[in-house]
Chains A and B, each alone.
Chain A
Amino acid sequence: MPSILHPQTFPPSYLYRMLQPILFALLLVAAFGFFTWQVRKIRANILVGRDRDMSGHAAERFQKTLLVAFGQQKMFKRMTPALLHLVVYVGFLVINIEVLEIVVDGLFGTHRFLSFLGPVYSLLMATNEVLGALVIIAVAAFWWRRNRKPPLKRFSGPELRAWPKMDANIILYVEVILMVALFTMNTSDLKLHQLRGENLPGAFPISSLLMGLLPANAGMLEIMERVGWWAHITGILLFLNYLPSSKHFHIIMAFPNVWYSRLVPQGQFSNVESITNEVKAMMDPSFVVPPAPTAPDGSALAPTPFGAKDVDDLPWTNLLNAYSCTECGRCTSVCPANLTGKLLSPRKIIMDTRDRMEEKYNSPLIFRPNLYGEEAKHEPITDLMEATLLRGKVTPEELWACTTCNACVESCPVNINPLESIIEMRRFLVLEESAAPNSLNVMFSNIENNGAPWAFSPSDRFNWADDLFAVEKAVKVAVS
């Protein structure tokens, strides 16, 4: 097995070779341990949501996940961001093959253990390098779209200040740092081998251009190679543990979120089973209302409200939605209410849902909602009774501005459904608080009394057919 460091140029390398596997193993265990701990908190947050059976239809779900999540089908409605995103996405997938190599090298003291693949290894390294360079370009473009004055419209808005704005930039900076570490590692390794007159396995189209920038000093190059190697893998593991606090968590959550997306037509709103039972009992006295669900010990459960006041009233899929959102704002940019200056922003409702979960239940390692500080999108809530999702974060004015047009649902690249949450909160306002706008209450009573949403007499319903004349015309017979 080739040694990592050359003993003549780097005397303490024996000690290093002894320590590296131990340090590396500790780092891996700590990183994955922390990540698991954070993911369990988030899983618990999602599971406070109401039950909803999303089992079955595996073939259809698989196909949807393949197209929408893996294939990024919905991203391609907007070409420029789709191509930029594709570069970073493919870069993420391919460069992670190299992470596998780094893990093996780190634990077993090998150097570039995948190099036995020969020409395949050359192809892999060359692809990595080209993608790495493209990622830096794409990230620069992303940064410009967000930070130019004024930024792209969907990257502004009241919900995208403070932490969400900083979060977006942190992600971009980290991605550049990771790529710089990768190129430092490759370039110094390449130059080191060249100095020694050896041949480094693999092909490095970008690093071979960068070699001139590095000193022709073997000791320095060895250190730089190791620094690049450690920086790349440590950066990735730190980034992994940053994800649960970040919108960037979508790189993981997009997949389960698409898998569990609704398969029914977008116009179909959920049915409220408990109301169905009540209405059936009213219309048919012989109907037996099924017994209310009980706790495992047989005691009665507290009745659940109609609709949603807080995050635990929403179906768990809507909470999963909140953790899958990368705050891209496609939903808000096509929302007719938002476009015409109303307060409603579908993205804000999804972000509020995640903030509220972390305020009420578990917070991940880094981010806590109070990090919004003075630039918070909400006035700080002092009355804790009012600190629910509805009113505490989402105002009725936002909810009543929705036309239920499904543009937000259609636009989301990872199948998030803000409309469902809006309707659940409207249900709470109407059924639990009788807090509909007055004009809607008038509409309700018209339906109750006249069977129509307008104040017309039901006896006039068939007047349209009076004095209905048509021109007599023979039906066209198709000539065969």
Chain B
Amino acid sequence: MTVLDNPSFMTPEAPTKKQINVPVMADLAARNESPEILFWVGCAGAFDDRYKRVTRAFVRILDHVGTKYAVLGLEESCTGDPAKRAGNEFLFQMQAMQNITTLNGYGIKKIVTACPHCFNTIKNEYPALGGDYEVIHHSTYLQQLINEGKVGVTGGESFKGRRITFHDSCYLGRANNIYEAPRDVLAALDADLVEMKRSRANGLCCGAGGAQMWKEAEPGKKEINIERTEEALATLSGKADALANLTGVETETSAPGPHDLQGSIIAVSCPFCMTMMSDGVKNKEQESKVQVFDLAELVASAEGINA
């Protein structure tokens, strides 16, 4: 990076901090305004301490690019995804219809969410109950911002050369065929991207989908998130023999070269994957070396807008 490329050269003073007052849909409606997008936060994004950081990072990005957005705030409620996957169709539909009433009441057309489960449910399962919206996952939205040049992913932390592997979320990938958007976002970081053998359509679940997040696993030999974390760590460290010992890996592709785990990143795009992979890294006692980040956190950090 030359001195001229550094934005701080142009503004030598310390960066100014500003407070973001997140616009709430009810306030906009009272002023007779409508947002360009509704940001659907999701329960994990609203309550889970780790994922709240993702929500805040994504809001910083929305604010930074000047998108006219709003959130439902206290009017948001669970989409019903965990209930539906667990077989409680009645509870799911109660939740769905309540949310659809809220969304339709505000005339919402376009929804962006950082949760693949909310994304899948609203996009695919709400239409049958009267909720038709354009629904975008934040990985696709971030990809668009980068492609349009609204986010340059420069000026903040540099990820150049950092080793990152992306863990596909089932509800983004196999459920909705979104594989490239998150990878394009990561590619913009100019990092050293490595792929796990089980990736894209062959990606291995983190173990939390289908309402597993809220229950103990059935008796077995191993936790699914441990299996997946081992694969991620073996990929990041380039230990091909470690990879070969994993169950279920039948394809043989060349593994990346040996690499120090220090500073490596497991990138996720889902709150449940975030929990499962973070727990897995802690279980393997690698949390001092390997961090788990959501795409929005990486982008906000590269853009230098985190405060």
Identify the A interface with B (CB < 8 A).
77-78, 264-269, 271-272, 275-276, 278-280, 282-283, 306-307, 333-334, 336-337, 339-344, 397, 400-407, 409-410, 423, 425-431, 436-437, 439-440, 442-444, 447-448, 451-454, 456, 458-465, 467-473, 475-476, 478
Contacts and interface: CB of A to CB of B under 8 A. Distances in A.
Nearest to B177: A265
Contacts of A437: 215
B242 interface: no
Nearest to B51: A464
Contacts of B262: none
A447 B91 contact: yes
B60 to A, nearest CB: 4
A265 B205 contact: no
Interface size class of B (residues with CB under 8 A): 35 or more
Contacts of A401: 217-218, 220
B88 A340 contact: no
B103 interface: no
B124 A267 contact: yes
Contact of A271 (B128, B175, B209): B128
Given A283-B97, A469-B307, A266 B174 contact: yes
Contacts of A336: 204-205, 207, 224, 227-228
Interface in B12-46: 15-22, 24, 41, 43, 45-46
Given A272-B93, A341-B220, A443-B82, 12 more contacts: A269-B125, A271-B128, A282-B94, A283-B101, A341-B222, A437-B215, A447-B83, A447-B91, A467-B19, A469-B19, A471-B18, A473-B15
Contacts of B48: 454
A186 to B, nearest CB: 38
B221 to A, nearest CB: 3
B305 A272 contact: no
Contacts of A476: 149-152, 154
B120 A423 contact: no
A410 B199 CA distance: 13
Most buried by A among B73, B218, B228: B218
5 interchain residue pairs of minimum CB distance: A267-B175, A341-B221, A426-B87, A404-B210, A451-B77
A269 B73 CA distance: 28
Given A397-B218, A459-B74, A407 B149 contact: no
B66 A440 contact: no
B139 to A, nearest CB: 15
B222 A340 contact: yes
A87 to B, nearest CB: 20
Contacts of B18: 469-472
Contact of B78 (A402, A406, A423, A452): A452
29 contacts: A267-B120, A267-B176, A268-B120, A271-B128, A272-B93, A275-B90, A307-B89, A337-B220, A400-B215, A404-B211, A436-B88, A440-B214, A448-B94, A453-B82, A453-B214, A458-B77, A460-B47, A461-B47, A462-B22, A464-B52, A468-B56, A470-B63, A471-B16, A471-B17, A471-B307, A472-B17, A472-B18, A473-B303, A476-B149
A265 B124 contact: yes
Interface string B52-77: 10011001100111100001011011
Contact of A454 (B15, B43, B177, B220): B43
Contacts of B215: 400, 437, 439-440, 443
A448 B64 contact: no
A269 B76 CA distance: 22
Contact of A344 (B20, B176, B218, B251): B218
Interface in B71-113: 71, 73-74, 76-78, 80, 82-91, 93-95, 97-98, 101
B85 A268 contact: no
Nearest to A274: B89
Contacts of A279: 90, 93-94, 97
Nearest to A79: B251
A125 to B, nearest CB: 38
Given A337-B218, A341-B220, A341-B222, A475 B204 contact: no
Contacts of A397: 218-219
B211 A462 contact: no
B248 interface: yes
B189 to A, nearest CB: 16
Contact of A470 (B46, B171, B202, B307): B307
Interface string B222-235: 11100110000000
A473 B65 CA distance: 10
B87 A423 contact: yes
Contacts of B204: 334, 336, 339, 407
B171 A337 contact: no
Given A269-B84, A462-B46, A470-B60, A406 B170 contact: yes
Contacts of A444: 83, 86, 88, 91
